[in-house]
Every structure is written in structure tokens, then in C-alpha cells.
């Protein structure tokens, strides 16, 4: 059996020769990003080994100066990037931006639709100078049509996609998901699309232009719900915890020190649950004979399980039920979840360098052959703008050099 060997571009051959141990070592990313989705995508690519140069406007991207969650968002999605400050609206800075993207493997942007074109950085112009570039532009509601000019933030995508309509308790007002779920999912979707495009480029030698919208990501996140409606015509409604036709399925039960969530709606796990808590009477109750019966009598089911588990704490419930194959989770607040995860190996939480007030940063959720992301905090605005004065090969070589923390320098 013959195998097709990828045809490497000049960029890919250079990257394949990189001595880095991570899969994207040697790949060059330019980011025109703000907030979460595109900075988050660039962060994932960086954690997989790529070199990222982030272009910020004068004064810095929005999150640098945003009150509230601004510092949290900036620290979460900008670890270890090279930071350059350019005024894309100024004629003097546009050639520097063009020179930067002309030797990049990937260009990422979530500027408003049309902004790259106004700055002379349209995908067409980038591809004219750099045909092998992978370009990804992310918008709120697409780049064409009457909705394209609307401001596109996570909450708008949650609202317009149906996510808020199905989130919350029955009879209550629609609720947003408790974090920026669409932004976070869009970051992962964008990163996956970029890596797929780089694989395609290794075979064809050509770059591509990828378009992603928050709205489409929000719709795709609910693919099963959409298919249920398309197949049955039954419109989903807010129902809070639990599934409407099965129980216990994502059902929340109170225990001695808080809450657990349990899914054991199939016959074998249901019987295992009742056996593990020494309550054969619950299993024998005709109201709970089948998953459908249990869903029909959900309040009585909750009362029975809560009474059976009232003297047990969350850890004991989780250990007892997990040991017999029942899906169960302890419902934790942030401090509790942090303690639980940092006490286990391979945690997504990275120990921050130095002795500053922030003890940990949040890394990407993967390791490559035991190599975890390096916990470099975001660099100051314009810290690497001087790189733009170098010729392209030297610029990217310097950008890829290991960062040194202040503690390491001393």
C-alpha cells in the first residue's frame, strides 16, 4: 500500500526543522485580537509551540484598560506572547504591519468586519504578498449581510442562538450561561481550524482564509438540541437541571455538605446506584421502575435520594457511586475546585513565576509528551515593538527565543 507524502511549503519545511518539542514549534502567528476568542485561539496555538506576535493599538487592546473582568481576561489569554504596539490607522505604521504578516504562517483577527481592509491588510492583500498564509477572521454575526455590522459579543451570540432560551429553570426568565461559553468555544474552534488549514497547506502548498462567527459557534454547540427540534418539531424549553425524559440524568441532589449531580438513568447504573446506597426499596418503588417513570415522578425521586444521602458528604457519595460505575460529580465552588485540581498531577493551573500577588495562571487543557505550557504572564504593552526594526528572519528568530522572567534575569 502506497502512502501520500505531504508536500511541504517553504514555511513548513522550516518549521519541520525546528528543534522545538511541541507540535507547532517554529510556526509564526500574528494576532490582531482583543477580548477572548482570537486571543484565546492564539494562546492555544502558542501552548502547542507556535510563536505569537500580538499587535495592539496605541494604549493597548481593550482588556488592558477594562474594569472588572478586563485584567482577568487579559491574563487568561495572553501568556507568553510577544507584544508590539502599532497604530494601524497611521500611514507610517501600515508598512510595518504588512511586513510582519508577509512572513507569517497564520494571521488571526477579530477586528470589526472591514477593519483589516481599511488598514490595507485585507486577506486578499495578505495573500498577494504571502500566498501560503493561513488567515482566520472571526466576527460576531458573519462578514456579510445586514447583521455583519452589529457588535458581536458572547452574550449577544448566546441570546440569538437559543442558548439563553433553554438555560434556566422552568417558568423563570432566560439565563445566560455563567461564563463566556461562546467566546471560549470559539477560541477552541478557531485553533482547530487553523491547525487543519496548516495540515492542508502541507499537502497543497496553499494558504486559505477561514471565517468563523460567534453566532455559528453558538448554534453548533447545541447541535443535538437543534437536531431534536428538526427531527421532532418539539421546541425545547427551559427546564433547569435534569433531562425531561430521563432520570436521574444531570439531577442535582442535596447531601450533608452541599450538592452532587448524578446521572444513572439506564437500568444497570440505576440498580448500581440503589445498591451502593443500600436502598433496594427505592429500586423496587413502582414510581421509579423505568427512566421515564422516574422523570415523571422527579420530585419524589429527588426526595428519596436526598433522604438516602443526607448523612453522607460529597466526597463519600462520589467515591461510593463512582466505584460502581455511576456518573456523579461533586458540585464545587471555585476555591474548592481549585484545591481539588491542584492536588492532582497534570493540573491546568500553572504556577506563576516570581513572588507576585497572582500565584497561578490558567493553562491550556493538554500536555504533549509531558510538556506543559510555560506560565509566562502577559508582557507589558509594546514590550517587543523593537522587533519590528529587525529584518524578518531575525525578527522571528528573536520572537521565538525563550522568554526570561524578571526573577530568572536576577
Q: Is 183 a catalytic residue?
A: yes
Q: Residue 373 contacts by C-beta under 8 Å, 6 or more apart in sequence?
A: 46, 47, 79, 80, 350, 363, 364
Q: Judge residue 251's burial from the number of C-beta atoms within 10 Å of its C-beta, 0-12 exposed, 13-18 middle, 19 or more buried.
A: buried
Q: Judge residue 270's burial from the number of C-beta atoms within 10 Å of its C-beta, 0-12 exposed, 13-18 middle, 19 or more buried.
A: buried
Q: CA distances (Å), 13 to each of 23, 203, 392, 395, in order?
A: 14, 12, 17, 19
From the candidates 12, 154, 183, 216, which is the catalytic residue?
183
Can you tell me the distance from the alpha carbon of 201 to that of 402, in angstroms, rounded to the nearest whole number? 27
Q: Residue 148 contacts by C-beta under 8 Å, 6 or more apart in sequence?
A: 113, 139, 141, 142
Q: CA distances (Å), 276 to each of 259, 307, 374, in order?
A: 18, 14, 43
Cα angle 328-218-139, degrees, rounded to a multiple of 5: 145
Catalytic residues: 183
Amino acid at each position: 500500500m502506497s502512502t501520500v507524502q505531504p508536500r511541504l511549503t517553504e514555511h513548513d519545511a522550516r518549521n519541520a526543522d525546528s528543534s522545538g518539542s511541541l507540535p507547532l514549534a517554529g510556526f509564526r502567528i500574528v494576532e490582531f485580537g482583543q477580548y477572548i476568542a482570537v486571543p484565546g485561539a492564539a494562546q492555544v496555538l502558542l501552548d502547542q509551540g507556535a510563536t505569537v506576535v500580538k499587535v495592539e493599538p496605541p494604549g493597548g487592546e481593550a482588556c488592558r484598560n477594562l474594569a472588572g473582568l478586563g485584567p482577568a481576561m487579559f491574563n487568561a489569554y495572553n501568556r507568553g506572547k510577544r507584544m508590539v504596539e502599532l497604530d494601524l490607522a497611521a500611514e507610517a505604521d501600515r508598512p510595518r504591519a504588512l511586513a510582519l504578516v508577509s512572513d507569517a504562517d497564520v494571521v488571526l483577527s477579530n477586528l470589526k468586519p472591514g477593519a483589516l481592509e481599511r488598514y490595507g491588510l485585507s486577506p486578499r492583500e495578505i495573500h498577494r504578498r504571502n500566498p501560503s498564509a493561513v488567515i482566520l477572521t472571526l466576527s460576531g454575526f458573519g462578514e456579510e449581510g445586514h447583521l455583519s455590522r452589529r457588535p458581536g459579543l458572547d452574550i449577544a451570540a448566546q441570546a440569538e442562538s437559543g442558548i439563553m432560551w433553554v438555560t434556566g429553570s422552568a417558568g423563570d426568565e432566560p439565563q445566560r450561561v455563567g461564563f463566556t461559553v461562546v467566546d471560549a468555544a470559539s477560541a477552541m474552534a478557531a485553533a482547530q481550524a487553523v491547525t487543519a488549514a496548516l495540515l492542508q497547506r502541507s499537502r497543497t502548498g496553499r494558504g486559505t482564509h477561514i471565517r468563523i462567527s460567534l453566532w455559528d459557534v453558538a448554534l453548533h454547540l447545541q447541535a443535538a438540541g437543534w437536531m431534536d427540534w428538526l427531527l421532532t418539531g418539539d421546541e425545547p424549553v427551559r427546564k433547569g437541571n435534569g433531562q425531561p425524559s430521563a432520570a436521574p440524568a444531570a439531577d442535582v441532589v442535596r447531601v450533608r455538605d452541599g450538592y452532587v449531580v448524578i446521572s444513572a438513568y439506564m437500568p444497570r447504573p440505576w440498580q448500581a446506584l440503589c445498591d451502593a446506597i443500600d436502598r433496594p426499596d427505592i429500586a423496587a418503588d413502582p414510581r421509579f421502575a423505568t427512566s421515564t417513570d422516574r422523570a415523571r415522578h422527579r420530585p419524589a425521586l429527588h426526595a428519596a435520594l436526598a433522604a438516602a444521602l443526607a448523612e453522607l458528604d460529597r466526597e463519600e457519595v462520589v467515591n461510593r457511586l463512582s466505584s460502581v460505575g455511576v456518573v456523579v460529580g461533586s458540585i464545587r465552588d471555585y476555591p474548592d475546585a481549585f484545591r481539588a485540581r491542584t492536588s492532582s498531577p497534570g493540573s491546568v493551573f500553572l504556577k506563576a513565576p516570581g513572588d507576585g500577588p497572582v500565584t497561578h495562571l490558567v493553562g491550556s487543557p493538554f500536555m504533549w509528551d509531558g510538556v506543559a505550557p510555560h506560565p509566562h504572564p502577559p508582557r507589558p504593552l509594546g514590550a517587543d515593538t523593537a522587533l519590528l526594526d529587525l529584518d524578518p528572519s531575525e525578527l522571528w528568530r528573536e520572537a521565538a527565543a525563550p522568554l526570561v522572567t524578571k526573577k530568572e534575569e536576577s
